[in-house]
Amino acid sequence: MDETVINSRAWDGEARNGSAWARIVSEEEIKRAAAGHPGIRVTVEKNVPQSWIEPLKGAHVLSLGGAGGQQTPLLAAFGCRTECLDISGEMLKRDREALERYGLSAELHQGSMTDLSRFRPSSFRAVISPVSINFVREIERVYREVFRILDENGIFIFGVANPALYMFDDRMLAKGKMKIKYTLPFSDEKSLSEKEVRKRCAKGDTLEFSHTLGNILGALTETGFAVTGFFSDVSSYEPIDSFLHDCYLAVRAEKRDK
């Protein structure tokens, strides 16, 4: 089952249905970014610390899986030479609309984050990715590709769901109740029946993969990154947040010689 095709269609639908990740930023947010405070998010609520972003002003930055009219125009307004690669054409349309609305420029590409071959080695100072690697089966491929395109001591900032989020029964959560149903690591392909997967795909749902903390962080360091920053964030959904405070994890990693 090709998660690239399925998730491309799913995120096209999310964009059309007004996903929170596809709401174009306001003029006030663009003005704050131009004044030096871009308010970049890679998790649900918290902004990335200013100290993570400040050194990137004027740098060549890739927003990876971050289209939707938010991160790309904010980085461009902040002064970054910005490119964005996203799997969804509809999400990229939101970026294009935002850039045109605010008179900004960035290069937009449609494709999978597991294949960054269109970019030259050592061509970016930073890669910023808001909670996207949970939609990829093999995060090691993403790490290797990001490592290749970053320059010396380049920065990788990304968000990821806490694997524990995937233990719960979706239908019960929708009713505001917590019930553990799945073992970890979760994947739609292996944790659900074939019938359930077909039903989810027919509804336009994404294919997701929880991964493990050992894989998320272990594979990162094995690729050659050093973790230099970390914070956690809530989900903005009270039944979950009352049970699990660290719903989403944000990582700042620096490329080191292997």
Pairing, β 60-64 against β 81-86: parallel
pLDDT by residue (tens digit) across 90-112?
Answer: 999 999 999 999 999 999 999 99
pLDDT mean across residues, the chain:
93
- Please state the pTM of the whole predicted model: 0.94
> Residue 12: what are its φ and ψ, rounded to 5°?
-60, -45
Q: What residue spans define the domains of the chain?
A: 3-161+210-255
Residue pLDDT, tens place only, 154-178: 999 999 999 998 888 877 777 777 7
Assign domain 3-161+210-255 to its CATH architecture: 3-Layer(aba) Sandwich (3.40)
Q: Going along the chain, which residue ranges are E strands?
A: 60-64, 81-86, 107-110, 124-129, 150-161, 225-233, 248-255
Give, in degrees to the nearest 5, the angle at Cα 242 between 236 and 247: 55
pLDDT in tens, 34-56: 999 999 999 999 999 999 999 99
Q: Are 36 and 116 in contact (CB under 8 A)?
A: no
